[in-house]
Amino acid sequence: MINTAAPTISVELRRRFSCATRVLVLTGAGVSAESGVPTFRGGGNSAVWKGMPFDVISSAGMLQRDLPAVWEWFDYRRDLLKALEPNAAHYEIARWQNRFAEFTLVTQNIDGLHQKAGSRDVVELHGNIWRARCTSCLLNHTISTTKGRPDNCEQCGEPLRPDVVLFGEMLPPGAFERAAESASQCELCFVVGTSALVYPAAGLPEVARMAGAYICEVNPEPTPLSDLCDEVLTGKAGAVLPLFGN
Ligand code: APR
């Protein structure tokens, strides 16, 4: 029997939540699921695009071989996103940035929904689908929801690529270092909506734990991280996170 009742937040977690000053939140695709953004994994399946597993179309190798195909995949995901709005989980997390003295939001998501919900200074580990980057001079270009995306760099004219971290590529300079620094300082770490399979992001809760932080996972399904956590709140982020506001 599927237990749809909202999980109970322990007295211990509520106490820590009420007196914490240094808090880290790590999010994954699951935090955007209730907004209608398809996750990559979960429910035993993984995303496929035109017969290709997503981690093939989203790879450095594919970028070398067929940049137009890579753009087609991200154009499709961006078109999906245009009509979607943040959900209660995004808004609750945005509220937390004003509640805690030292709050860090680290996301694996490229959808920009945290920022759309009002989150500032988000550490984007995997880039952002609303940006393109020059393949030569590395200049960043914003992709607007109305005018679409340019093909070539406005500065040097060379082709643009999605400003997203593809499989086989390094994370943006400094992003992980900043996230790891916050993880090593935090008292409370929330892991929301990630399958915790992709590193180095999935290693951040371990850094926080080593530093003595209390780790809370929010996910309707168990993950490889669940056993490491001090508390697991089994449920959807949009239903669970607002419970902290009560
Ligand atoms: N609330 C919370 N969690 C949810 C919800 C929800 N409403 N719906 C699904 N989930 C959980 C799933 O159970 C799963 O554990 O979210 C997780 C989504 O996992 P993935 O699809 O693997 O997403 P993520 O962990 O973010 O993937 C990491 O892999 O594909 C690459 O670069 C991509 O950033 C991504 C990275």
| Residue ranges around ligand 1 (CB below 6 Å) | 28-30, 33-34, 39-42, 108, 126, 193-195, 197-198, 218-221, 223, 236-237
CA of 16 to the centre of ligand 1 (A): 26
Residue 9 · residue 91 · CB < 8 Å: no
- CA nearest to 26, candidates 208, 170, 185: 208
Q: Per residue in 110-125, is it b (16+ CB within 10 Å) or e — as a string?
A: bbbbbbbbebeebbbb
CA of 65 to the centre of ligand 1 (A): 28
Residue nearest to atom 12 of ligand 1 (CA): 42
The 8 Å CB, 24+ separation contacts for 131-139 are 131/162, 131/163, 132/160, 132/161, 132/162, 132/163, 133/160, 133/161, 133/162, 133/163, 134/158, 134/159, 134/160, 134/161, 135/159, 135/160, 135/161
Mutate which of 164, 195, 221, 234 for ligand 1 pocket (most atoms within 8 A of beta carbon)? 195
> Locate tokens 């961006």: which residue?
78
Residue nearest to atom 7 of ligand 1 (CA): 236
What tens-digit pLDDT sequence spans the chain (246 residues)? 445 578 899 999 999 999 999 999 999 999 999 999 988 776 555 667 888 888 889 999 999 999 999 999 999 999 999 999 999 999 999 999 999 999 999 999 999 999 999 999 999 999 999 999 999 999 999 998 887 788 899 999 999 999 999 999 999 999 999 999 999 999 999 999 999 999 999 999 999 999 999 999 999 999 999 999 999 999 999 999 999 986
Distances (CA, A) of 103 to 49, 100, 217: 36, 6, 17
Residue nearest to atom 6 of ligand 1 (CA): 236
pLDDT of res. 245: 83
Q: Do the strands 48-49 and 52-53 form a parallel or antiparallel pair, or are they unpaired? A: antiparallel
pLDDT of res. 46: 63
Catalytic residue positions, numbered? 126
Residue nearest to atom 26 of ligand 1 (CA): 28
